[in-house]
Amino acid sequence: MENLFNLNGKIALVTGGSRGIGAMIAEGFVRNGVKTYISSRKSDPCDKKARELSKYGECISIPADLTDMNEMDKLVTKIKDKETKLNILVNNAGAAWGASFDDFPEIGWDKVMDTNVKSVFFLTQKLVDILETSASTSDPSRIINIGSIDGLGIPRAETYSYPASKAAVHQLTKVLANRLANRNINVNAIAPGPFESNMMAHTLEEYGEQIRSSVPRGRIGVPEDMAGASIFLSSKASSYITGSIIPVDGGSLIARRHME
């Protein structure tokens, strides 16, 4: 029982790991003994975050734009060149686009769907062999997809492709969980509520107090909240959980449903 949440010696890849929710997860892993690779589209912030997190453990930067299949292939090749196993894959890289219904552009649809859905499937497909290598019945490998409560409820903002993409991530999580269970790979999703991140920065600046007051727990998420959920889903404690969508939102989803 004392080792239920022990991750020491595991190896993880966190996409979108240079900032926001990805950085929260990566820091939780590194501080708990996980050799953690982080990837993001911009190399300088990715390298900087890896240096920062390396104060607490082992963190390696491999920048890549996951909407570009050639860059995705390079990321996969670098991981496989460096490691013979991968215990944890966190598909966190994401994008959002806001525009009114009448003016919403095709690029705002395609960019969000390519980043949030397409890249999740194909990166998982390309890494499944190395995930399977390190997996067993008693200690499965883990895939954690980062969805959103906007994929479970109706968002207030006009971000049409974003909630559609996150709903797709949730359904893809269930499909992959069913498909990969016999390969000893657990697939779950976290559906975050409001957290401080670049994606949420403008919204929190404009509506921060309103958002905080609408969350039953009375605050927005902090890094420990996201790290804790990710550590749980990566540890022995969750080895019998797959295909689940776990809201980490302070109760904001149930409050939103009640208001609707």
Catalytic residue among 37, 162, 207, 240: 162
Q: What residues are paired with 37 via a beta bridge?
A: 13, 60
SS3 187: strand
> For 141, phi and psi rounded to 5 degrees?
-75, 160
CA angle (48, 51, 53) in 5-degree steps: 110
Token reading at 112: 């969000």
Asked if 61 contacts 85 with a C-beta cutoff of 8 angstroms, the reply is no
Q: What residues are paired with 88 via a beta bridge?
A: 12, 142
Token reading at 258: 């009640």
**Active-site residue flag, 160:** no
Supply the residues annotated as catalytic.
Answer: 162
